[in-house]
Amino acid sequence: MAIDLHTHSAHSDGTQTPDELLAEAAECGIEVLALTDHDTFAGWDEALEAGRRHGVRVIRGVEVSCRTDDGISVHLLGYLPDPGHEGLSTALHEARNARDVRARRMVDLLAADFPLTWADVEGVAGRGAAIGRPHIADALIKRGVVATREEAFEGLLAGSSPYFVPHPAPAPEEAVRLVRAAGGVPVFAHPRARARGRVVGVEVMDAMTEAGLAGLEVDHRDNPEAERGWLRDYAAEHGLLVTGSSDFHGRGKPNRLGEHTTTPEMLERLLAEVRSGLD
Ligand code: AMP
Ligand code: FE
Ligand code: FE
Ligand code: ZN
């Protein structure tokens, strides 16, 4: 059974509608797919409906942007949270607003030196999508300033670039508590993704575990192979489940659907941790 628990649609920075995503998943033989757009539940209804049509079971998920005190970016996957939970939905709403303010600042800075407007960026983002650096990258490509998203992320949009502006985000352990409070299951996304910048030390993983973390996304292309062994050991030692996923973004990234998958046993464990929200 092919289970892929981390994918994006155009409701964040993927390039496909949920319908296109589910059609491609069915074509690839994926049986269970989680939609985990950044900081939004906006694609859930479309994905559930498309999943029924294409014969793919859809798990409702979200990828929450977090940041440690010393500025390291952490992504937390939340599976099956109650979308009506006040704390979580408010935090995501604030995150989207903060992203918007931040994206406008970055575009203002870039616009002083390159042919780029806010309208360009809106033009490449899906309607209602929280605008992030990938969209700014796409607008820069359209203007011919860079050739690829990779080139943009390595240069103009890098964390060290004068055009980079950080956006406020909850601490990772706070996000873990929020997802649990909403009845969802929190899984640390690509915990050793060095290519994206600095990664957190074990003390942050300990704090997240203490706060109620349920699992680690071990099989992900951005975790170096050499580090997956100790991640598995850490998970076993702390009773955490282990997932594998593609982090598919459509044409926005080279990641292919189903390139890493989660075992049915781990999916069972994950579903067993979902709280009904009634207590
Ligand atoms: P932001 O959250 O706006 O700072 O942008 C970070 C997002 O950009 C991440 O969620 C990734 O999905 C995406 N990203 C990071 N590096 C790259 C890259 N090299 N190419 C395309 N997308 C990337
Ligand atoms: Fe992304
Ligand atoms: Fe991520
Ligand atoms: Zn992702």
pLDDT at 194: 85
- Among 149, 150, 248, 251, the mutation site with the greatest number of ligand 1 atoms within 8 A of its Cβ is 149
- Cβ–ligand 1 distance for 192 under 6 Å, the answer no
Nearby residues for ligand 3 (ion, Cβ within 5 Å): 75, 189
- Cβ–ligand 1 distance for 132 under 6 Å, the answer yes
Residue nearest to atom 13 of ligand 1 (CA): 134
User: How many CA atoms does the CB half-sphere of 197 hold within 13 Å?
Assistant: 15
Report how far ligand 3's centroid is from the alpha carbon of 190 (Å). 7
Report how far ligand 2's centroid is from the alpha carbon of 275 (Å). 27
Q: Which residues pair with 3 in a beta bridge?
A: 32
CA distances from 267 to 1, 6, 42, 134, 174 (A): 11, 13, 23, 30, 24
| Dist CA 185 CA 80 (whole Å) | 7
Report how far ligand 2's centroid is from the alpha carbon of 249 (Å). 7
- Model's pTM, two decimal places? 0.93
Residue 279 has pLDDT above 60, yes or no: no
CA distances from 75 to 17, 36, 62, 192 (A): 22, 11, 10, 11
45 contacts 16 by C-beta, under 8 angstroms: no
174 contacts 204 by C-beta, under 8 angstroms: no
Give the model confidence (pLDDT) of 14-60 as tens digits. 999 999 999 999 999 999 999 999 999 999 999 999 999 999 999 99
**pLDDT band at residue 200, thresholds of 50, 70 and 90?**
very high
Ligand 1 atom at minimal distance to the Cα of residue 252: 21
Q: For residue 267, is it left (φ>0), alpha (ψ between -120 and 50) or beta?
A: alpha
Residue nearest to atom 23 of ligand 1 (CA): 134
Residue 278 has pLDDT above 90, yes or no: no
| Dist CA 124 CA 139 (whole Å) | 6
Residue nearest to atom 6 of ligand 1 (CA): 133
Sole residue written with tokens 């706060």: 211
- Cβ–ligand 1 distance for 6 under 6 Å, the answer no
Report how far ligand 3's centroid is from the alpha carbon of 217 (Å). 10
Report how far ligand 1's centroid is from the alpha carbon of 219 (Å). 19
pLDDT at 275: 77
Residue 272 has pLDDT above 90, yes or no: yes
Beta strands in 127-208 (DSSP E): 185-188
